Structure 1
Amino acid sequence: MKRFSFVLALMAAISLIALLSAPAAAEHNYVGVKGCKMCHMAADKGAQYKSWEASKHAKAYETLGTDQAKEVAKAKGIANPQEAAECLKCHVTGYGSDASMFESTYTKEEGVGCESCHGAGKDYKNVTIMKDVEKAKANGLIIPSEEVCKKCHNEESPTFKAFDYKARVAEIAHPRPQK
């Protein structure tokens, strides 16, 4: 029995060492909308930047400074919604990530930028990578899904309204034109 216990403990220790020495999931840096804008502004490419710029996502951080947001925050015991984690987690791209993950081109004032839905872009924004969607995904690109949207569009939000994924995605659609 002692031998069995020893072997079991040894296997557990080896498993723990293997787990701890395994490489962590790659973390990619945020570049902000300026890093996306240069390739996603032209009409022949779909003008995705202009679609985002006109969206509520682009104004997400700004809305936290409105009187309405301050009233909602006050009711929740929050003094300043533009500084509160409970608000910033859904109104600012990458909120809660380590400061080292943000390039100098990023600003929180962008609100919910490209990388909130598509993943931190430093490693996939290069045109040679973006031409191959599988390579882009391997470098951090996320193809948004209902699950991605519902990280913020859910009952935890104090201003939540029923979320119809298909209808809302149609409102913010910004596809690349097919050639």
Structure 2
Amino acid sequence: MKISRLAIFAAFAWTLGAGPWAQSATAGQRGFVGVKKCKLCHKNEDQGNQYGQWQASAHAKAYETLGTEKAKEAAAGIGVDDPQDSPKCLRCHVTAFTVREKIATEKITLEEGVSCESCHGAGKGYFKKKTMQAIADGKIDRASVGLTKPDATVCAQCHNEDNPFHKGFDFDASYAKIAHPRPAEGATAADKTTQ
């Protein structure tokens, strides 16, 4: 049975489009807005204070940890002089590192660490309240504007065996620790789209 060149090309093109590098390119094209934009709607206690929860998390401190003596010693063990300047480390310790050359980096600083858009996708297409309401009302598909719901695949881009410091990863247990939904009681439909 002969496989046509078109079929081979289509499979190759699909493979290229399905990897994490494709997600990064798409995210970069959509545009990142930075944690300050997310904070505008996600800082109030009565709505769950997702910003505060993130700010207190290890994700928010991911870049900062690279500057510790412990991180520097560990990095030296894998041939890295300065973990805060190494692509090997930064690809998982900061938001949008893989597309950093293609985006306006003033929107996202290294010091933000792993922020909202690392897990939820580049926010330019969905950060406005009107868009979030349309998603909640079913008028807009969340994926069409770049809003992703984090799943094991998203987390596994960094929490995997390729990471020399990987200690195992249980998605369900880890997700439960970082979950930051809006309170169900009194929340609008738009509020429930952030999980």
Structure having the higher Rg: 1
SS in 2 for 1:156: coil
Range that drifts further, 104-113 or 167-176: 104-113
Q: How does 1:89-128 map to 2 (within 5 A)?
A: 89-102=91-104, 104-128=106-130
Aligned to 2:157: 151
Aligned to 1:5: none
How much does 1:111 deviate?
Answer: 0.3
Structure 2 length as normaliser, TM-score? Answer: 0.76
Structure 1 length as normaliser, TM-score? Answer: 0.82
Q: Would the aligned equivalents of 1:30 and 1:106 in 2 still touch at CA under 8 Å?
A: yes
> Residues 149 and 85 of structure 1: is their aligned pair in 2 closer, same or farther, counting only changes over 3 Å?
same
How much does 1:29 deviate?
Answer: 1.1
How much does 1:43 deviate?
Answer: 1.4
1:42 to 41, 44, 48: 44
How much does 1:131 deviate?
Answer: 1.4
Aligned-partner residue type, residue 111 of structure 2: E
How much does 1:166 deviate?
Answer: 0.7
> Residues 149 and 65 of structure 1: is their aligned pair in 2 closer, same or farther, counting only changes over 3 Å?
same
Count how many residue pairs are aligned between Structure 1 and Structure 2: 162
Instruction: Please give the alpha-carbon distance, in whole angstroms, between the structure 2 residues aligned to 1:172 and 1:46.
Output: 13
Instruction: Please give the alpha-carbon distance, in whole angstroms, between the structure 2 residues aligned to 1:57 and 1:127.
Output: 25
Runs of 4+ in 1 over 6 A off after TM superposition: none
**CA shift digits 1:106-133 (9 cap, x unpaired):** 2111000000000011121011111133
SS in 1 for 2:98: coil
Aligned to 1:52: 54
Aligned to 2:17: none
Instruction: Please give the alpha-carbon distance, in whole angstroms, between the structure 2 residues aligned to 1:98 and 1:136.
Output: 24
Instruction: Please give the alpha-carbon distance, in whole angstroms, between the structure 2 residues aligned to 1:121 and 1:84.
Output: 26
Q: How does 1:22-37 map to 2 (within 5 A)?
A: 27-37=29-39
How much does 1:141 deviate?
Answer: 0.7
Question: Which ranges in structure 1 are unaligned for 5 or more consecutive residues?
Answer: 1-7
How much does 1:25 deviate?
Answer: 5.2
Percentage of matched positions with identical amino acids? 48
Question: Which ranges in structure 2 are unaligned for 5 or more consecutive residues?
Answer: 14-24, 188-195
SS in 1 for 2:41: coil
Q: Would the aligned equivalents of 1:124 and 1:137 in 2 still touch at CA under 8 Å?
A: no
2:84 to 73, 82, 85: 82
Aligned to 1:65: 67
Instruction: Please give the alpha-carbon distance, in whole angstroms, between the structure 2 residues aligned to 1:25 and 1:46.
Output: 29
